[in-house]
Amino acid sequence: MPLETSFFIKVYDIVRQIPEGKVTSYGAIAKYLGAPQSSRMVGWAMNAAHSHSNVPAHRVVNRKGILTGKHHFGGETIMKQLLENEGIKVVENQIQDFDKHLWDPVQFLEDF
C-alpha cells in the first residue's frame, strides 16, 4: 500500500471518531499522527474523502476555525449547513466559539 494511501486511511479513522457537534483541525490530526508538519497532507486526505460517505470531512477545519475546504462539498454552503445541523454556528465561513467545539485527538484518543 502506498504511503499516501495508508496515511489517508489513518486520517479517515481519526475523522470518523470526531463526535457530532465537534470539529478538529488539519494540524491537530497531523500532530496526533506524529507528523506535525503534515497538516497539508491531512487536507489532501480530506479533499479526497468526499467519496467516502462514512467520513465526516465537514468536521475538519483550519486552525482558526475557518471552513477552508468548503468548495469540496459540491456547493459553497453545504459544509456550513452540515455543521449548523450539528449545532455549530458559522458566520462568514468561520466557526463561532471555536474553542468550545474543538475536539483534539491528542487529548481524546489513545496513542495511534
Q: What is the pLDDT along the chain (112 residues), one digit of tens a residue?
A: 565 679 999 999 999 999 999 999 999 999 999 999 999 999 999 999 877 889 999 999 999 999 998 988 888 899 999 999 999 999 999 999 999 999 999 998 876 5
Q: What is the pLDDT of residue 3?
A: 57
Q: What is the pLDDT of residue 52?
A: 85
Q: Cα(first)–Cα(last) distance of the chain, in Å?
A: 18
What φ, ψ does residue 23 adopt, rounded to 5°? -135, 165
Task: Name 44's Cβ contacts closer than 8 Å, sequence gap at least 6.
Answer: 4, 8
Domain 3-105 is of which CATH architecture?
Orthogonal Bundle (1.10)
Cell output for 82? 452540515
d(CA 37, CA 20): 27
d(CA 32, CA 110): 10
Q: What is the pLDDT of residue 71?
A: 87
Q: What is the pLDDT of residue 5?
A: 78
CB distance 28 to 101 below 8 Å? no
Given the C-alpha cell 489532501, which residue does it identify?
44
